[in-house]
């Protein structure tokens, strides 16, 4: 297939085949990993722990086949056409870097400070990176979100996130 389909380039066709190949490989990996799940001694009946992953992996392979068939027939993905998307705009690297900094700060500070404060830094940093300039209000909301999620995980799910400097208080 050396010629491009109308409205697309040869490279675009190859990249779309790459997506189909990746999806098929991922589906096969899911199936193989599901088959390797050890049988449970308490499982009864025909449905075991591997059933759902095998079905999902099989569906991924089927969808990959349909995608490859569509590309072979000349189908091409259409660029984003949303009315709220500026297609000619450039990437906003400042926002990306600020969001990355908030995530890195959370990862570095979660053990020493604990989730309630590192999560607040993450939430506040994300709000700032995305354009909010109400620092005090955002900080109060971020603290409420982080303490709320800590309690939700601890009391609701039984998963205790690091408490850091609040050890013995929370």
Q: pLDDT digits over 52-68, tens only?
A: 899 999 999 999 999 99
pLDDT, position 78: 73
Q: Looking at residue 156, what DSSP letter applies?
A: I
CB atoms within 10 A of CB 142: 21
| Spatial CB neighbours of 89, under 8 Å, sequence gap ≥ 6 | none
- Report the alpha-carbon distance of residue 150 to residue 170 in Å, rounded: 9
Of 170, 67, 72, which Cα lies nearest the Cα of 116?
Answer: 170
Q: Residue 39: pLDDT above 80?
A: no
* Residue 157 CA to its chain's centroid (Å): 21
Q: pLDDT digits over 91-119, tens only?
A: 889 999 999 999 999 999 999 999 999 99
| Spatial CB neighbours of 103, under 8 Å, sequence gap ≥ 6 | 122
Burial of residue 146, with CB atoms counted within 10 A of its CB: 0-12 exposed, 13-18 middle, 19 or more buried? buried
Q: How many residues does the chain have?
A: 170
Burial of residue 157, with CB atoms counted within 10 A of its CB: 0-12 exposed, 13-18 middle, 19 or more buried? exposed
Q: Residue 83: pLDDT above 60?
A: yes
């Amino acid at each position: 297939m050396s010629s491009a389909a109308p409205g697309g380039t040869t490279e675009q066709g190859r990249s779309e085949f790459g997506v189909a190949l990746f999806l098929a490989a991922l589906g096969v990996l899911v199936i193989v990993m599901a088959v390797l799940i050890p049988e449970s001694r308490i499982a009864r009946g025909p449905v075991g722990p591997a059933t759902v992953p095998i079905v999902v992996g099989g569906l991924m392979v089927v969808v990959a086949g349909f995608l490859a068939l569509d590309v072979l027939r000349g189908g091409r993905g259409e660029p984003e056409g949303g009315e709220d998307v500026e297609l000619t705009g450039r990437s906003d690297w400042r926002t990306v870097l600020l969001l990355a900094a908030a995530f890195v700060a959370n990862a570095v500070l979660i053990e020493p400070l604990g989730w309630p404060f590192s999560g607040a830094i993450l939430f506040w940093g994300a709000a700032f990176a995305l354009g909010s300039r109400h620092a005090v209000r955002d900080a109060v909301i971020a603290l409420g979100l982080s303490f709320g999620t800590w309690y939700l995980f601890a009391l609701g799910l039984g998963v205790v996130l690091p408490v850091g400097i609040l050890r013995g208080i929370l």
